[in-house]
Structure 1
Amino acid sequence: MIPIAKPYLTEEEAQAAYDTILSGWITQGPKVQEFEEKFAAYTGAKYAVAVSNCTTALHLAMIVAGIGPGDEVICPSMSYIATANAIRYVGATPVFAEVEPDTYNLDAADAEARITDRTKAILLVHQIGMPADIDAFKDLCGRYNLKLLEDAACAAGSAYKGAKIGSHSELVCFSFHPRKVISTGDGGMITTNREDYYNRLKLLRQHGMSVNDRVRHEASRIIFEDHVELGYNYRMTDIQAAVGIKQLEKLDWIVEERRKIAAAYDQAFKDIDSIRLPQEYDGYFSNYQSYSIYLKDTAAVSRNTLMQKLLDRGIATRRGIMNTHRETAYKEYATDVSLPVSEDLQDNSIILPLYVPMKQEEIKFVTECFTQEVLAVTMSKSMLQPD
């Protein structure tokens, strides 16, 4: 079976975790600080704060941005459910907007049409690693005095107009889940250029504790901590951070290899008229966290039938990106929601295997099987059509 994805971890990461375990400091400590400093330097942000996962990163970002009950936050429905969940965690209301069919990213014009006097922020998602149009949303937020937050769960290593994702706005949240380009088992990171956000994020991730464990451990005098506000246990461990440091060292190489696989797919599928390939426009640089193909002629090619035929041949695939407003937990938020583009993309897109290292024979097998199955279904359908 060729899997849809798998993490790229080597003996270097294993050794880093091993050394950290034996160091005696395994929770949030010196390795976390090192990972934060190196991640900030990599993205071009002033600061980075490591947390337990991207969902907790989004939750804390909402808090420091001042979003709360009564506020509305515009976001795509076409995103993993954690995007909208983080808005609900602070008592605010997610307002779902449409996405662009070519990029799967939030449509600025549709987002603007959904702004009300209760709108407090826009949560922009860089879907499957493809950067969204950050400048368009910075302009939009500037005109309406809104906060801009970025869900960059899939976008470590991606870039927008020559600068890495993570450096463009005040709060950018990353994931290190195993499905992402680099992984710490699980984990997350928030980048920011604001010192006040940085200091409060560090406070909130550790129960609102005024003095962290490392400061107390290294102190030559007795220190008693205070818990100055309601906080959370959203810490990253030093074991995870040690792995993350090694992963970060390989990130650019991993992205380069992923882009080679995406280019091989592009070349193999470019002449199939019934599908639309991922679009990467000038100034946009994707890490290709996922490779999603849209089936244009659904009368000729059934997405689910195609997925099953590929699975029968030993190739795992996934359906298009979920629509949160279709989930049971969001029924009350979907009463008057009309998102035909998002729903069409979910229903008629297929995500193909892409991981490092993916062998040339595996890439060839996927491209050959996909092409054969699409063309076979298309041909059989056309033969049934009357002249």
Structure 2
Amino acid sequence: CIDWADVEAKRTHKTRAFIPVDYAGYPAGPGDTDLLIIQDAAHAPGGVAYGDMMCLSFHPVKPLATGDGGAILLDDGGQYERLQALRWCGIDRSTWQRSEKRYGWDYDINEVGYKCHWNDIQAAIGLVQLDRLDEMQQARRKIADLYQAELSDWVDFAADHPKHTNHLMPVRVSSHIRDGLINALLEAGYSAGLHYKPLTLYPMYKQETPPNTALAWRQLISLPIFADLSPADVVGVCDIVEHYVGVRSVAYG
């Protein structure tokens, strides 16, 4: 969870915007600030919209998958038109707009843009996925509820929220058994991951890791979760977690 008072305390005259991350699908806002909020909702389509801009990801492993790509949701006509141009090399008019009456080859480029536009196949997949979003989110919620019912005595869960989208299923265990538990799950045929290694531990960004981040990193494990995961597989995962944690220790190290 974000400490919004700390956000305000750390802003300077150079601060132009703040980018909160809806980690695992938990909404990081809304918060009490007058900063421009660019909401990273890559994990949270269908969640809480609280930013001035809301950025979504349609990567294959995300809840609303279309193959790849993403979208920005906003309520600002000027920024919308600018972003439309930026997504396609900075060109100010789409081919469709230039061809409505008769083909017009002329267009302007007012700033350097990118090549980030979709194709029709991805858009068609996206429309179908959008129709299924509520169904898929309800399935994830049921899986999350089953995990919590089975494992509440064995692991610590992250904070819950009525609009949590449950993209990931992070739990905390004792740091000295975390890696062994991951291996036990993998050996049984269940995927388990770590989301995420702190940036400060990579050579490119190396610096001192904040203490709370360092502690969480040593204890976190992501249990498998996706819309088609069966209740039997959830119970199978839980059986391994209960056995492994129970045999070794539940005390944090």
Class of the TM-score when normalised by the shorter of the 2 chains: over 0.9
Any residues of structure 2 matched to 1:233-244 within 5 Å, and which? 233-244=115-126
- Residue type of the partner of 2:237? V
Q: Tell me if the contact between 1:258 and 1:356 (Cα under 8 Å) persists in the aligned partners.
A: yes
Partner Cα distance (2:13, 2:104) in 1: 50
Say yes or no: does 1:125 pair with 2:7. no
Give the secondary structure class of the aligned counterpart of 2:71. strand
Q: Which residue is 2:246 aligned to?
A: 375
Mapped contact 2:177–2:245 kept (Cα < 8 A): no
Q: Secondary structure at the match of 1:125?
A: coil
Asked if 1:289 is matched to 2:164, the reply is: no
The secondary structure found in structure 2 opposite 1:318 is coil
Give the counterpart letter for 2:214 in structure 1. E
- Aligned equivalents of 1:348, 1:285: Cα separation in 2: 25
1:118-158 CA deviation, whole Å, 9 max, x = no partner? 22221111111111121x2xx22x2xxx3211111111022
| Matches for 1:154-193 after TM superposition, within 5 Å | 154-159=43-48, 165=49, 168-193=50-75
Structure 1: unaligned runs, 5 residues or longer: 1-104, 160-164, 382-387
Which amino acid letter does the alignment assign opposite residue 150 of structure 2?
Answer: A
Contact 2:137–2:227 under 8 Å retained in 1: no
CA–CA separation in structure 1 for the residues paired with 2:170 and 2:55: 22
AA partner of residue 155 (structure 1) = A
Judge which range, 345-354 or 116-125, deviates more. 116-125
How many residues align structurally?
A: 251
Q: CA deviation at 1:117?
A: 2.4
Map residues 189-200 of structure 1 onto 2, 5 A cutoff.
Answer: 189-200=71-82
Q: 1:329 and 2:204 equivalent?
A: yes
User: Do 1:321 and 1:346's aligned partners in 2 also have CA atoms closer than 8 Å?
Assistant: yes
| Cα pair 2:59 2:65 within 8 Å, conserved | yes
2:192 matched to 1:314? no
Cα separation, 2, equivalents of 1:211 and 1:119: 32
Offset of residue 376 of structure 1: 1.3
Deviation at 1:349, TM superposition (A): 0.5
Q: What letter corresponds to residue 353 of structure 1 in structure 2?
A: P
Tell me the TM-score normalised to structure 1 length.
0.62
CA contact (8 A) 1:155 1:287 kept: yes
1:350 — aligned with what?
A: 221
* Matched ranges for 1:46-65 at <5 A: none
User: What is the CA–CA distance in structure 2 between the aligned matches of 1:290 and 1:236, rounded to whole Å?
Assistant: 26
Q: Structure 2 vs 1, CA of residues 227 and 320 (structure 1 numbering), >3 Å: closer, same or farther?
A: closer
- What residue identity is the alignment partner of 1:372? H
Residue-by-residue CA offset, 1:242-267 (whole Å, 9 max, x unaligned): 10000000000100000000000000
2:93 aligns to what SS in structure 1? Answer: coil
In 2, distance between residues paired with 1:121 and 1:356?
34
Q: Distance in 2 between matches of 1:259 and 1:344?
A: 27
Cα pair 1:276 1:293 within 8 Å, conserved: yes
Larger RCO, structure (CA 8 Å, separation 6 or more): 1
1:211 and 2:93 aligned? yes
Which whole-Å CA distance do the structure 1 matches of 2:104 and 2:150 have between them?
66
Aligned to 1:149: 38
Counterparts of 1:201 and 1:221, CA distance in 2:
23
Unaligned runs of 5+ in 2: none
CA drift at 1:306: 1.1
Percent sequence identity over matched residues? 29
> C-alpha distance in 2, partners of 1:357/1:221?
46
Question: In the aligned structure 2, how far is the partner of 1:169 from the partner of 1:363?
Answer: 34
